[in-house]
Copies of this chain bind each other. A is one copy, B any other.
Amino acid sequence: MTTALIHERLQSQLAFHTEIDKLKRVIRRNSLIDGSRRENDAEHSWHLAMMAMTLAEHAPPETDISRVVAMLLVHDIVEVDAGDTFIYDPVAVEGQAALERAAADRIFGLLPEDQGARLRGLWDEFEERRTPEARFARALDRLAPIIANHHNEGGTWPLYKVTARQVMEKVRLIEEGSPTLGEYAARLVAGSVAQGHLAP
C-alpha cells in the first residue's frame, strides 16, 4: 500500500471513529444495575461484549465468540441516526427498520469500502439472526435488561406497563441463542412476578 493510500484510509477510519462517539449520547430506556441513571448505547455495547467473553460456554459448541464480540460492538451503531427503540413499542419497532438501514448505509459508509462492508455484514448478520453467533449475541442483548430490571424492582416493566407474558416472548429469543441462559432468564422473570415487580 502506498503512503498516500494508507493516509487516505486512516482519514476515513478516523472520521468513522469521531462519528461513532455519538453513540455515547444515545440513551436507552433501562438503567444501570444500581439504578442511578439510564444507560447509553456505547457502555451497553461494552457490557454485552464482556458478557459474550464470560458466558461463552453457554453458547452452542463451535460458536465463534470473537465474531459474537465484534457483532455486539457494532450492533447499536445505527442508533446514532435512528435512536433507540423500546422493544415493547410495536409502532416504533415497525418504522425503525428502514431508518436503521439508511443509518447503516451512511455510518458504515464512512469507512474504506472493504471495512464498511465487513462491519455492515456483522450488523446484517445480527439483525437476521440466522447464525448461532447472531442468535447468541441477540440472547445477550435481551438478557441484559432483564437482569437490570430484576435488580431495579422491575425497572422499565412497571414504568411502561409491560407484563410477564410479553417478557416471556423475549425469553424465548434468549432460549434460541442459549437454552441455559433462557432458563436462567425465565427464573428471573418468575422471581420478579413473585416479588410483585412485574405483572403476570
Contacts and interface: CB of A to CB of B under 8 A. Distances in A.
Q: Chain A at the B interface: mostly helix, strand, loop or mixed?
A: helix
A147 B17 contact: yes
A45 to B, nearest CB: 5
A69 B68 CA distance: 12
Copies of this chain in the oligomer: 2
Interface in A12-44: 13-14, 16-18, 20-25, 32-34, 36, 39-40, 42-43
Q: List the 9 closest pairs (A to B, CB-CB), nearest first.
A: A46-B46, A42-B43, A66-B66, A21-B33, A43-B43, A24-B43, A42-B46, A13-B54, A45-B46
17 contacts: A6-B180, A13-B55, A14-B147, A17-B47, A17-B54, A20-B47, A21-B47, A23-B43, A23-B46, A25-B32, A42-B43, A46-B73, A49-B73, A50-B73, A54-B119, A66-B70, A69-B70
